[in-house]
Amino acid sequence: MSTSDRLIESTRELLWERGYVGTSPKAILERSGAGQGSMYHHFKGKQDLALAAIRRTAEEMRATAAGVLDGPGTPYERIARYLRREREVLRGCPVGRLTMDPDVIADDELRAPVDETLDWLRERLAGIVEEGREQGEFAAGLDGESVAATIVATLQGGYVLARASGSPGAFDASVRGLLSLLAPRDDTRTSSRPPTGTST
Protein backbone atom coordinates (compact mmCIF):
# COMPACT_ATOMS: atom_id res chain seq x y z
CA MET A 1 0.00 0.00 0.00
CA SER A 2 1.36 3.40 -0.96
CA THR A 3 1.95 6.10 1.62
CA SER A 4 -1.03 8.12 0.37
CA ASP A 5 -3.27 5.03 0.61
CA ARG A 6 -2.05 4.34 4.15
CA LEU A 7 -2.85 7.92 5.10
CA ILE A 8 -6.34 7.71 3.58
CA GLU A 9 -7.14 4.35 5.17
CA SER A 10 -5.91 5.51 8.58
CA THR A 11 -7.98 8.67 8.30
CA ARG A 12 -11.06 6.63 7.37
CA GLU A 13 -10.69 4.51 10.49
CA LEU A 14 -10.06 7.49 12.75
CA LEU A 15 -13.04 9.42 11.38
CA TRP A 16 -15.23 6.39 12.09
CA GLU A 17 -13.85 6.03 15.59
CA ARG A 18 -13.29 9.62 16.73
CA GLY A 19 -14.92 12.06 14.32
CA TYR A 20 -13.23 14.94 12.55
CA VAL A 21 -12.01 16.87 15.60
CA GLY A 22 -10.55 13.75 17.19
CA THR A 23 -8.72 12.86 14.00
CA SER A 24 -5.58 14.90 14.49
CA PRO A 25 -2.67 14.93 12.03
CA LYS A 26 -0.52 13.33 14.74
CA ALA A 27 -3.01 10.48 15.19
CA ILE A 28 -3.17 9.95 11.44
CA LEU A 29 0.60 9.74 11.13
CA GLU A 30 0.86 7.37 14.10
CA ARG A 31 -1.89 5.10 12.75
CA SER A 32 -0.50 5.06 9.21
CA GLY A 33 3.14 4.70 10.16
CA ALA A 34 3.95 7.49 7.72
CA GLY A 35 6.83 9.82 8.34
CA GLN A 36 6.36 13.41 9.43
CA GLY A 37 5.71 15.62 6.43
CA SER A 38 4.18 12.80 4.38
CA MET A 39 0.68 14.20 4.82
CA TYR A 40 1.67 17.57 3.39
CA HIS A 41 3.59 15.94 0.56
CA HIS A 42 0.49 14.08 -0.67
CA PHE A 43 -2.29 16.35 0.62
CA LYS A 44 -2.80 20.05 1.26
CA GLY A 45 -3.63 19.36 4.91
CA LYS A 46 -6.06 17.60 7.23
CA GLN A 47 -9.19 18.83 5.43
CA ASP A 48 -7.92 17.63 2.05
CA LEU A 49 -6.98 14.23 3.48
CA ALA A 50 -10.31 13.92 5.28
CA LEU A 51 -12.12 14.67 2.04
CA ALA A 52 -10.21 11.89 0.26
CA ALA A 53 -11.05 9.52 3.12
CA ILE A 54 -14.75 10.41 3.14
CA ARG A 55 -14.97 10.04 -0.62
CA ARG A 56 -13.40 6.59 -0.45
CA THR A 57 -15.75 5.53 2.34
CA ALA A 58 -18.73 6.80 0.35
CA GLU A 59 -17.59 5.00 -2.80
CA GLU A 60 -17.11 1.77 -0.87
CA MET A 61 -20.57 2.03 0.69
CA ARG A 62 -22.19 2.59 -2.71
CA ALA A 63 -20.29 -0.32 -4.28
CA THR A 64 -21.24 -2.67 -1.45
CA ALA A 65 -24.90 -1.65 -1.57
CA ALA A 66 -25.02 -1.93 -5.37
CA GLY A 67 -23.51 -5.41 -5.21
CA VAL A 68 -26.50 -6.54 -3.16
CA LEU A 69 -29.31 -4.38 -4.57
CA ASP A 70 -28.37 -5.11 -8.19
CA GLY A 71 -28.07 -8.83 -7.54
CA PRO A 72 -30.54 -11.64 -8.32
CA GLY A 73 -33.94 -12.08 -6.71
CA THR A 74 -37.22 -10.28 -6.42
CA PRO A 75 -37.32 -6.66 -5.25
CA TYR A 76 -38.28 -7.79 -1.74
CA GLU A 77 -35.51 -10.38 -1.62
CA ARG A 78 -32.89 -7.84 -2.71
CA ILE A 79 -34.03 -5.30 -0.13
CA ALA A 80 -34.09 -8.00 2.55
CA ARG A 81 -30.60 -9.16 1.59
CA TYR A 82 -29.32 -5.59 1.83
CA LEU A 83 -30.89 -5.03 5.24
CA ARG A 84 -29.53 -8.33 6.57
CA ARG A 85 -26.03 -8.07 5.21
CA GLU A 86 -23.11 -8.26 7.64
CA ARG A 87 -22.47 -4.97 9.42
CA GLU A 88 -20.34 -3.70 12.31
CA VAL A 89 -23.49 -2.46 14.03
CA LEU A 90 -21.91 -1.29 17.28
CA ARG A 91 -19.43 0.90 15.40
CA GLY A 92 -22.25 2.63 13.57
CA CYS A 93 -22.53 3.41 9.87
CA PRO A 94 -19.23 4.92 8.63
CA VAL A 95 -21.17 7.35 6.41
CA GLY A 96 -24.19 7.93 8.64
CA ARG A 97 -22.03 8.79 11.64
CA LEU A 98 -20.50 11.67 9.70
CA THR A 99 -23.91 13.38 9.63
CA MET A 100 -23.61 13.76 13.41
CA ASP A 101 -20.19 15.41 13.15
CA PRO A 102 -20.74 19.18 13.28
CA ASP A 103 -17.38 19.90 11.65
CA VAL A 104 -18.24 17.73 8.65
CA ILE A 105 -21.77 19.11 8.29
CA ALA A 106 -20.51 22.68 8.53
CA ASP A 107 -18.07 22.13 5.65
CA ASP A 108 -19.85 22.00 2.27
CA GLU A 109 -17.00 20.10 0.66
CA LEU A 110 -16.76 17.42 3.35
CA ARG A 111 -20.54 17.07 3.56
CA ALA A 112 -21.05 16.66 -0.20
CA PRO A 113 -20.00 12.98 -0.57
CA VAL A 114 -22.08 12.06 2.49
CA ASP A 115 -25.18 13.77 1.12
CA GLU A 116 -24.61 12.36 -2.37
CA THR A 117 -24.26 8.81 -1.05
CA LEU A 118 -27.43 8.91 1.03
CA ASP A 119 -29.29 10.45 -1.93
CA TRP A 120 -27.97 7.68 -4.18
CA LEU A 121 -29.08 5.00 -1.72
CA ARG A 122 -32.58 6.44 -1.39
CA GLU A 123 -32.90 6.73 -5.17
CA ARG A 124 -31.71 3.15 -5.74
CA LEU A 125 -34.07 1.76 -3.10
CA ALA A 126 -36.97 3.82 -4.47
CA GLY A 127 -36.39 2.30 -7.89
CA ILE A 128 -36.48 -1.21 -6.47
CA VAL A 129 -39.69 -0.50 -4.55
CA GLU A 130 -41.29 0.88 -7.72
CA GLU A 131 -40.11 -2.20 -9.58
CA GLY A 132 -41.77 -4.41 -6.97
CA ARG A 133 -44.95 -2.35 -7.08
CA GLU A 134 -45.16 -2.64 -10.87
CA GLN A 135 -44.64 -6.41 -10.63
CA GLY A 136 -47.41 -6.70 -8.06
CA GLU A 137 -45.06 -7.81 -5.27
CA PHE A 138 -45.70 -4.64 -3.24
CA ALA A 139 -49.00 -2.89 -2.65
CA ALA A 140 -50.06 -0.57 -5.45
CA GLY A 141 -50.37 2.35 -3.05
CA LEU A 142 -46.74 2.27 -1.87
CA ASP A 143 -44.69 5.34 -2.75
CA GLY A 144 -41.13 4.36 -3.69
CA GLU A 145 -39.46 7.53 -2.42
CA SER A 146 -41.26 7.41 0.93
CA VAL A 147 -40.50 3.73 1.47
CA ALA A 148 -36.85 4.27 0.51
CA ALA A 149 -36.57 7.11 3.03
CA THR A 150 -38.12 4.82 5.66
CA ILE A 151 -35.60 2.05 4.91
CA VAL A 152 -32.63 4.41 5.25
CA ALA A 153 -34.09 5.97 8.42
CA THR A 154 -34.66 2.51 9.92
CA LEU A 155 -31.07 1.49 9.23
CA GLN A 156 -29.58 4.65 10.69
CA GLY A 157 -31.94 4.61 13.65
CA GLY A 158 -31.12 0.95 14.23
CA TYR A 159 -27.43 1.83 14.54
CA VAL A 160 -28.25 4.50 17.13
CA LEU A 161 -30.43 2.15 19.19
CA ALA A 162 -27.82 -0.60 19.04
CA ARG A 163 -25.02 1.72 20.15
CA ALA A 164 -27.17 3.14 22.95
CA SER A 165 -27.98 -0.32 24.29
CA GLY A 166 -24.57 -1.82 23.60
CA SER A 167 -26.22 -4.70 21.75
CA PRO A 168 -26.90 -5.38 18.05
CA GLY A 169 -30.29 -6.79 19.06
CA ALA A 170 -32.00 -3.43 18.66
CA PHE A 171 -30.70 -3.13 15.10
CA ASP A 172 -31.84 -6.65 14.29
CA ALA A 173 -35.30 -5.94 15.70
CA SER A 174 -35.60 -2.80 13.54
CA VAL A 175 -34.73 -4.80 10.44
CA ARG A 176 -37.18 -7.58 11.29
CA GLY A 177 -39.95 -5.06 11.92
CA LEU A 178 -39.39 -3.24 8.64
CA LEU A 179 -39.24 -6.46 6.64
CA SER A 180 -42.47 -7.71 8.22
CA LEU A 181 -44.17 -4.51 7.03
CA LEU A 182 -42.75 -4.83 3.52
CA ALA A 183 -43.24 -8.59 3.10
CA PRO A 184 -45.68 -9.57 0.35
CA ARG A 185 -48.85 -11.03 1.89
CA ASP A 186 -48.50 -14.30 0.00
CA ASP A 187 -44.81 -14.76 0.73
CA THR A 188 -43.60 -15.31 4.30
CA ARG A 189 -40.42 -17.10 3.32
CA THR A 190 -38.17 -14.30 4.56
CA SER A 191 -40.34 -12.11 6.74
CA SER A 192 -39.75 -14.11 9.93
CA ARG A 193 -36.16 -15.15 9.35
CA PRO A 194 -33.77 -13.35 11.74
CA PRO A 195 -30.95 -11.26 10.30
CA THR A 196 -27.91 -13.30 9.33
CA GLY A 197 -25.43 -10.65 10.45
CA THR A 198 -25.12 -8.51 13.50
CA SER A 199 -22.56 -6.23 12.26
CA THR A 200 -22.67 -1.76 7.13
Confidence of residue 185 (pLDDT cuts 50, 70, 90): low
Report pLDDT digits (tens) over 162-175.
999 999 999 999 99
Q: Phi/psi at 106 (nearest 5 deg)?
A: -75, -15
Confidence of residue 41 (pLDDT cuts 50, 70, 90): confident
Report pLDDT digits (tens) over 45-66.
899 999 999 999 999 999 999 9
pLDDT at 154 over 90: yes
- CA 160/CA 170 separation, integer angstroms: 9
- CA 25/CA 28 separation, integer angstroms: 5
pLDDT at 157 over 60: yes
Q: How many CB atoms lie within 10 A of CB 131?
A: 15
44 contacts 157 by C-beta, under 8 angstroms = no
CATH topology of domain 56-182: Tetracycline Repressor; domain 2 (1.10.357)
Going from N- to C-terminal start, the domains of the chain cover 56-182
Q: Residue 31 has what pLDDT? A: 93
Q: What is the CA radius of gyration of the chain?
A: 19
